[in-house]
Chain A
Amino acid sequence: MTSNFPTLVVEDLRTYFYTKAGVVKAVDGISFTVDRGEILGLVGESGSGKTVTGFSIMGLVDPPGRVAGGRILFKGDDIAGLPDDAMRTLRGNRIAMIFQDPMMTLNPVLRIDTQMIEAIKAHNAVSNDEARRRARDILGRVGIPSPDERLKAYPHQFSGGMRQRVSIAIALLNDPDLIVADEPTTALDVTIQGQILYEVQKLCRESRTAMIWITHDLSVIAGLADRISVMYAGRIVESGQVDEVLDRPLHPYTRGLIGSVPSENRRGVPLAQIPGMTPSLLNLPPGCAFRARCPRADNACLTPPEMTLAAPGREVRCFHPHLA
């Protein structure tokens, strides 16, 4: 089954939370595309709306939040307003998600096989034996030794890294077209992180799965993603090929992010910090949301900047980008 549509096209997605204190525009008009075999890195600080973006695609935004506007085209079909029943046939089947904290995502009182088999049987009419075989094969594929025995284990009998492998295996069970990975390596130590990154990348390339990798860690994204989109206060401020964005960031915020990553080259020099904090999404100042923290801000920034094409495949939302 091949279609001409890209796996996922997000157009002007808006996810708002209607709280008592006011409307929180957690995601405020973002657009991006991910195609088969491609990994898109979604980068930003805590509270920039990247996780909410992931949940919006999954149709898992809990009240008081909801998708207030825009389109989510999955292989050409808009799934943004889909009723929950219809969405459920996609979730875990065509679109899977990996969560941040592997200690929390597996149900502590159910065995691994129960948790894997139920995910297969929710979408396929297969026998228990068949489902178990598939679960075992995939556990093996994500690098879990003696998967037959491990199937019978409970989550607490696994280490953090192993649990995340299990979550990844669960995401892969139904051979999805799209995987939304929400900081899956943040809670792991660095050596495990490296292994998992390598394996996810390999699995993704082999099966030509599209992937959105949500993270705040630029060093993770550098070796993993094809393209990245940088989010700030619910909007994408810069996007492009990963090398170009990391080597020649256009937006002052992206520059700030890259400057705050520790590096060998600048040993002994204090780390650059972005002054200030992410603004409250409840009442964003008019104009550019980054204005108050930006070294280049001036009166022009009092009106909201639009996404503009800076170079082929490079977009930036800034009046004063760092053009060479």
Chain B
Amino acid sequence: MTVFITRRLLQSCLVIFVMSLIVFFGVNVIGNPIDILINPEADQAEIERAIKALGLDRPIHEQYLVFIQRAFEGDLGRSFVFGEPALKLIMQRMPATLELALCAMLISIVLGIPLGMWAGLKPESAAGKSIMGFSILGFSLPSFWVGIMLIMIFAVMLGVLPSTGRGQTVGLFGLQVSFLTWDGLAHLLLPAVNLALFKLSLVIRLARAGTREVVLQDYVKFARAKGLSPSRIVLVHVMKNIMIPVVTILGLELGSVIAFSVVTETIFAWPGMGKLIIDSINLLDRPVIVAYLLMTVFMFITINLVVDILYSILDPRVRLQDIKG
């Protein structure tokens, strides 16, 4: 297990290094941030000064080396726009996004697995068919449209839930969170549901497919032949087997939910990272874009590692291979 984790960590470092190359050079060949940032009436001397101040006068490989050097010191550059460290900007916005993403994930797991298993156990029942119909809608309706509809129904027509912002937040371990106050929870609900809808449908489908496959296996019949109660068969024998694909996909999806919750955050004016990256792209705020992308890579790698470790807890066959490897 230690060997496995060490090897994975080394691989991860390599991936981050390669990504930093691609991201840094990729971002630095598009557009000219000076054109956007500086007053169009500024004279040549001012422009020169601005270029120098941002470090854009030096050759790109030198810029990269400086960037890498600073990155090791925990500095991913300063935002051109805000004049603040890019990492700090992202970290300020991160709790909001994390809260939203985790909440959406929670909704999709807590609802998705039971619903999917139900649909898998009783595929011909009205409930089973309705669940599948719902999941098709969840898959195919565009996220922004659902978001607008949610605002229309719950905020405008019924007037029961707020439509924008985070509401009242409280500090928890130095982070500002919404879910501990009623007001914050009310603000959280609509965006979380909006973001969860697609994942929920995905989890339902995975759980259903897994369940339908597993209930036909001999070991389920054998479990019945042992005289076990239906609840034990479903909750232990079936569920543990379907969790393997579900965990894989959820792990990958968690990364994408955090990194790309842009649409939902924009619609509900949720002050998270998604909104920051859209603004930064519009303003060509290179350091923020680079820092954001690197953070995303880092997050995906971490999540994948956690998923692999979870795997070995869920599936003993994986564990053995790792020890051999």
Contact = CB atoms under 8 A, between A and B. Distances in A.
Interface of A: 58, 60, 88-93, 96-97, 99, 101, 104-111, 118-119, 122-123, 154, 156-157, 167, 170
Contacts, number: 77
Interface centre among A93, A97, A109, A122 (most CB of B within 10 A): A109
B241 A92 contact: no
B174 interface: no
Contacts of A108: 219, 241, 315-317
Interface in B223-241: 223-229, 232, 236-237, 240-241
B227 A90 contact: yes
Contacts of A119: 226-228
B239 to A, nearest CB: 10
B237 A110 contact: yes
B218 interface: yes
Given A156-B316, A170-B226, A107 B221 contact: no
Contacts of B226: 91-92, 96, 118-119, 122, 170
A60 B218 CA distance: 12
B315 A60 contact: no
Interface in B212-266: 217-219, 221-229, 232, 236-237, 240-241, 244
Given A91-B227, A109-B240, A118-B228, A99 B320 contact: no
B223 A107 contact: yes
10 contacts: A91-B224, A97-B222, A99-B225, A101-B218, A104-B217, A104-B219, A106-B222, A108-B316, A122-B232, A167-B222
Interface centre among A106, A118, A157 (most CB of B within 10 A): A118
B225 A91 contact: yes
Interface residues of B, number: 23
Nearest to B228: A122
B320 A157 contact: yes
Contacts of A170: 222, 226
Contacts of B218: 99, 101, 104-105
Given A107-B241, A122-B228, A154 B316 contact: yes
Interface of B: 217-219, 221-229, 232, 236-237, 240-241, 244, 314-317, 320
B125 to A, nearest CB: 13
Q: Give the interface SS of chain B, mostly helix, strand, loop or mixed.
A: helix
A189 to B, nearest CB: 20
Contacts of B240: 107, 109-110
A122 B229 contact: yes
Given A99-B221, A107-B223, A110-B237, A92 B228 contact: yes
Contact of B236 (A58, A89, A104, A110): A110
Contacts of B236: 110, 118
A107 B224 CA distance: 12
A134 B302 CA distance: 44
Contacts of A106: 219, 222
A93 B224 CA distance: 12
Contacts of A109: 240-241, 244, 314-316
A174 to B, nearest CB: 8
B20 to A, nearest CB: 39
A105 B219 CA distance: 4
A31 B305 CA distance: 59
Contacts of A90: 227
A267 B20 CA distance: 75
A60 B225 contact: yes
Contacts of A89: 227
B166 to A, nearest CB: 40
Nearest to A93: B227
B219 A156 contact: no
A107 B225 CA distance: 13
Contacts of B221: 60, 99
Ranked 7 nearest A-B pairs via Cβ = A92-B227, A92-B226, A104-B218, A91-B227, A154-B316, A119-B226, A105-B222
